[in-house]
C-alpha cells in the first residue's frame, strides 16, 4: 500500500536529481538536433539498474499515460524488497507553458518521483529546435506536485 501524500517526504534524493538531470539533458540534445522527442521514461531499480523506455506509438497524451502506467505496473509486479523493484523514475516530453498574458511557449516537461517521496513536475522553456549550437533552454522551473506513481 502506498503512503498518503502527508506521509511522504518532501524534496528529492541526489539519485533522483541525477536521474532526472540526465534524462533532461538527453531530451534537450534531441531537441537541439531537431529529432523527434517521444515520451521518454527512465526507471531506476533498488539495485541501481536503469531501464529506459521511448514511448511513441500514439499521441503525446496517450504515450504519457502509457509511461505512467508502465511505472505503476513495474511497481505492482515487484516485491518492494526485490533488488529489481523500481525505486525512482523520470519522464520527459514536449509540451507548452502559458505565461501571464496567455501566450504559450514550447517547453520540455519533466515528471519525477521516488518511492516514499512526493512526486513533482518541472519544465524548461526551449527555443530554436534543430538549431544545434543556437538551441536555447531555460533552467528548470518547478511546475508543482503531481500524483506519485510509486
- What is the residue-level pLDDT of the chain in tens, covering all 150 positions? 456 656 888 989 999 999 999 999 999 999 999 999 999 999 999 999 999 999 998 888 999 999 999 999 999 988 878 888 999 999 999 999 999 899 999 999 999 999 999 999 999 999 999 999 999 999 999 999 999 999
pTM: 0.92
90: left (phi over 0), alpha (psi -120 to 50) or beta: beta
Measured distance CA(14)–CA(70) in Å, rounded: 23
Question: What is the distance between the alpha carbons of residues 114 and 150, in angstroms, rounded to a whole number?
Answer: 6
Residue 22's CB: how many other CB atoms inside 10 A? 13
d(CA 128, CA 115) in angstroms, rounded, equals 36
The DSSP element (H or E) to which 45 belongs, if any, is strand 39-45
Amino acid at each position: 500500500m502506498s503512503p498518503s501524500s502527508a506521509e511522504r517526504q518532501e524534496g528529492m534524493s541526489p539519485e533522483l536529481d541525477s536521474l532526472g538531470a540526465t534524462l533532461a539533458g538527453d531530451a534537450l540534445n534531441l531537441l537541439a538536433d531537431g529529432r523527434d522527442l517521444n515520451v521518454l521514461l527512465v526507471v531506476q531499480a533498488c539495485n541501481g539498474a536503469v531501464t529506459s523506455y521511448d514511448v511513441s506509438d500514439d499521441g503525446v497524451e496517450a504515450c504519457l499515460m502509457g509511461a505512467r502506467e508502465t511505472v505503476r505496473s513495474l511497481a505492482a509486479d515487484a516485491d518492494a524488497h526485490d533488488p529489481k523493484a523500481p525505486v525512482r523514475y523520470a519522464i520527459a516530453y514536449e509540451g507548452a507553458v502559458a505565461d501571464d498574458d496567455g501566450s504559450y511557449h514550447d517547453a520540455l516537461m519533466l515528471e519525477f518521483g521516488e518511492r516514499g517521496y512526493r512526486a513533482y513536475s518541472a519544465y524548461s522553456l526551449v527555443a530554436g529546435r534543430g538549431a544545434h549550437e543556437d538551441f536555447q533552454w531555460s533552467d528548470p522551473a518547478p511546475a508543482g506536485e503531481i500524483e506519485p506513481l510509486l
